[in-house]
Amino acid sequence: MANGGKPMQTKNKILIAAVSIIVIVGVALGVYFGVRNNKDSSNHESNNSIGGIPSSSAVPTPTAAPPPPPAQNGTMINGTLFPYYNGLTGQVPATVGIPGMVYTNCVTPNTFSISFDDGPSNYTNELLDLLDKENLKVTFFVNGDNTGCIYEPDVQKVLKRAFRAGHQIASHTWSHPMLTTLSVDAITTEMTRLEKALMDILGVIPRYMRPPFGDGTFGGVGNANDQKVQSTLKNLGYVITTWDIATKDADVDDNLQQHKLSDTELQAVVQKEITSVVESNPKGATHMELMHDTYMRTVRLTAPWSINYIKNLGYKIVPVATCLGDADPRNWYKNIGPPAASTPTTCPPK
């Protein structure tokens, strides 16, 4: 038995060795052809690409979907964006201000309106910085061609800034004339020329206006309650707003040498004008205060002091229309539409 087992063991060893050789050869061949195939595939891909970028026949690599556009800040109305005011949708509330009516005080309890006439000017941007800091909205009664031409690029820019910040833009006529001295046609032209400019630049036509000097509304200047002026403005759809507090900044402005006052003297005059009216009325009585953004010391001295004084009395400072009950900015304007694609950069000769 022992001698018969040796040949069997030898055959087994040979068989095992043969199988091992076959396995090794198979693995080697697999590795070789696998590398070759990968190389051929790489060469094929490079031959179908330009500058390392796969050709259009290559399967594109999936990319992440672009982020959604940011929510629009404001409300688009008839082609004009009201950037500061979101959610101006649905039916427009009934207007409160009555065309042709002259308003001297606010009617909404606990409100105090601040307004600025005759601009925009070189100081309006600085005033807007202050109002932004205080988070306040006011009314700008603007002219078309008074201290500067409304079509000048810098003036258009500051006017758009005021509108986009949520301030009310109202009419102060085209050239700041005494309306009682004009014919009905001339008054109409004063108003419609500014209407066209504001529609071109902003896409709005105001419903609210203030006669220069209060002419046609107050006694002592022109004719009080002038029917020609008031009926013409009524027919044009304008709510007439004046004031019960005039700061007299125009009378003592530092540009008028005959009224030259020091800063301390100016502030004493202005503060007395404001406090005397407020203190002579019942507590909480509403007021409309007039200033001018055309004067440096109004912007740098009068406006900051006035804002602080009014806030400390507990009033809410609002635009003129809001204090009269028209809080929805859509009611501040009698026409809203897309602004002009391009506008002039100068005013026509006077």
Q: How far apart are CA 245 and CA 157, in angstroms?
A: 30
Element spanning 116, H or E: strand 111-117
What is the rounded (10 degree) CA torsion for 337, 135, 121, 196?
Answer: 10
pLDDT at 24: 52
Q: For the chain, list residues with pLDDT below 50.
A: 1-16, 19, 23, 25, 27, 29, 31-63, 68-72, 220
The residue annotated as part of the active site, out of 117, 145, 215, 253, is: 117
Paired residues of 292 in beta bridges: 117
pLDDT at 8: 45
pLDDT at 70: 43
Annotation says 167 is catalytic: no
pLDDT at 168: 98
Element spanning 130, H or E: helix 124-134
pLDDT at 56: 34
- Residue 330 has a CB neighbour count (10 Å cut-off) of 18
Supply 85's token pair.
């005011």
- Residue 338 has a CB neighbour count (10 Å cut-off) of 12
DSSP 3-state assignment of 138? coil
Supply 157's token pair.
């820019």
Nearest to 336 by CA among 157, 78, 97, 2: 78
Q: How far apart are CA 25 and CA 240, in angstroms?
A: 104
Supply 160's token pair.
């758009």
Nearest to 202 by CA among 140, 264, 255, 251: 140
pLDDT at 281: 95
Q: Mind listing the domains of the chain with CATH numbers? A: 104-336 (3.20.20.370)
Q: How far apart are CA 78 and CA 204, in angstroms?
A: 10
Q: What is the pLDDT of residues 278-316, one digit of tens each?
A: 999 999 999 999 999 999 999 999 999 999 999 999 999
The residue annotated as part of the active site, out of 167, 172, 176, 292, is: 292
Annotation says 259 is catalytic: no
